[in-house]
């Protein structure tokens, strides 16, 4: 029975066990132009001979390597090359960027009003601080903002020494409790996790000389600018600017009578964590109103200066 099954299989498949090299090669690459016969000697076709493959419909088509070589010779890169050497330049990077219209470029270059002022203020701010005041991570910003408000409100009702003592005692209580809890858990579970604050103990918190020098230079530049501006205002170098400065000081006398210093600091912190985000959300509307108000103020100042010529600023001689 078994011999009959083997004979039937040989007749259907064409497989002859006596001839090891007699098998179908329709699904493999045909070598040379000999009609697809397998060469037992391992003869390699010449370089000019075409290597073809049999497709699903029974026809012959050039092998993938020949199609890739033909595309390269025609100056056209194939859509999916077999091998990528990493030297090809990305077409998206090599394409020239779209030109910006002149009107749009001039509008981008001549940004004025509150946008330019905000960009100038935030130019030298650390990106991590910007992420906090713009609420990029709501949880992190909430923790920082809440902690600052808690400390400031405590300073508003208690002395600085009391606030520092209670705050330090609270931090020490939390860290001590956590250390004792980890030691107990390690003893119960018989594990050796090490110090729970080892990661923070290994951090380098020493002040670097380069950073301190850079910060000091920045602070000194701002201090020098403020001193020069105050000298110019108090010694009446420009009459209009000195009058404006006097009006500002007069307004501050009323502000000082309404709020104390700690209240002003609390309001300042609230403004830092709210106004930038509000301006980012409603930038277009706020810029429109600011431009309208600036236009009105400049118009009034122009009328006043036209009636009072001595208030006009004198051109500075180089």
Does residue 2 fall inside a structural domain?
no
- 251 and 189 inside one domain: yes
Q: Tens place of pLDDT for every residue, the chain, 318 residues?
A: 555 555 655 565 555 555 444 444 444 444 444 444 444 454 444 444 445 555 544 555 555 444 444 444 444 444 444 444 444 444 444 444 444 444 343 333 444 556 666 666 677 778 888 899 999 999 999 999 999 999 999 999 999 999 999 999 999 999 999 999 998 998 888 888 888 898 888 888 898 899 899 999 989 999 999 999 999 999 999 888 999 899 999 999 999 889 888 999 999 999 999 999 999 999 999 999 999 998 998 888 888 878 877 666 665 554
Does residue 118 fall inside a structural domain?
no
- 175 and 30 inside one domain: no
Output the pLDDT for position 260: 87
Tokens of 243: 């009058």
Whether the CB-CB separation of 240 and 248 falls below 8 Å is answered with no
Q: How many domains does the chain have?
A: 2
Does residue 238 fall inside a structural domain?
yes
- 192 and 53 inside one domain: no
Output the pLDDT for position 14: 56
Output the pLDDT for position 265: 93
Residues in contact with 267: Cβ distance below 8 Å, sequence separation at least 6, in sequence order: 259
- 254 and 154 inside one domain: yes
Whether the CB-CB separation of 245 and 237 falls below 8 Å is answered with no
Output the pLDDT for position 315: 56
Give the Cα separation of 182 and 255 in Å (integer).
52
Alpha carbon 308 to its chain centroid, in Å, reads: 52
Output the pLDDT for position 94: 40
Scored b (16 or more CB within 10 A) or e, 291-317 reads eeeeeeeeeeeeeeeeeeeeeeeeeee
Q: Rounded to 10 degrees, what is the CA torsion of 129, 131, 132, 133? A: 90
- 186 and 279 inside one domain: yes
Domain range spanning residue 254? Answer: 123-291
Whether the CB-CB separation of 66 and 51 falls below 8 Å is answered with yes
Does residue 178 fall inside a structural domain?
yes
Output the pLDDT for position 219: 93
């Amino acid at each position: 029975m078994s011999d009959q099954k083997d004979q039937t299989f040989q007749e259907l498949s064409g497989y002859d066990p006596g001839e090891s090299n007699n098998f179908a090669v329709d699904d493999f690459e045909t070598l040379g132009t000999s009609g697809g016969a397998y060469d037992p000697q391992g003869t390699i076709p010449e370089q000019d001979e075409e290597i073809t493959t049999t497709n699903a419909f029974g026809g012959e088509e050039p092998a993938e390597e020949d199609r890739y070589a033909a595309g390269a010779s025609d100056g056209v890169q194939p859509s999916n090359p077999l091998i990528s050497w990493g030297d090809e330049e990305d077409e998206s990077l090599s394409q020239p960027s779209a030109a910006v219209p002149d009107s749009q470029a001039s509008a981008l270059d001549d940004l004025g009003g509150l946008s330019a002022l905000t960009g100038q203020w935030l130019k030298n701010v650390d990106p991590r601080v910007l992420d906090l005041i713009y609420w990029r991570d709501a949880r992190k910003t909430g923790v920082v903002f809440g902690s600052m408000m808690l400390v400031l409100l405590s300073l508003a009702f208690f002395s600085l020494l009391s606030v520092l003592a209670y705050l330090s005692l609270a931090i020490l209580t939390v860290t001590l409790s956590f250390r004792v809890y980890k030691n107990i858990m390690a003893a119960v579970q018989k594990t050796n996790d090490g110090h729970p604050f080892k990661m923070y103990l290994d951090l380098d918190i020493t002040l670097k000389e380069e950073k301190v020098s850079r910060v000091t230079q920045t602070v000194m530049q701002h201090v020098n600018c403020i001193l020069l501006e105050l000298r110019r205002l108090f010694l009446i170098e420009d009459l209009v600017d000195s009058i404006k400065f006097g009006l500002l000081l007069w307004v501050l006398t009323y502000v000082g009578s309404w709020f104390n210093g700690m209240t002003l600091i609390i309001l300042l912190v609230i403004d830092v964590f709210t106004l930038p985000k509000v301006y980012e959300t409603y930038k277009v509307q706020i810029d429109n109103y600011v431009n309208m108000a600036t236009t009105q103020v400049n118009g009034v100042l122009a009328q006043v200066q036209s009636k009072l010529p001595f208030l006009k600023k004198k051109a500075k001689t180089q």
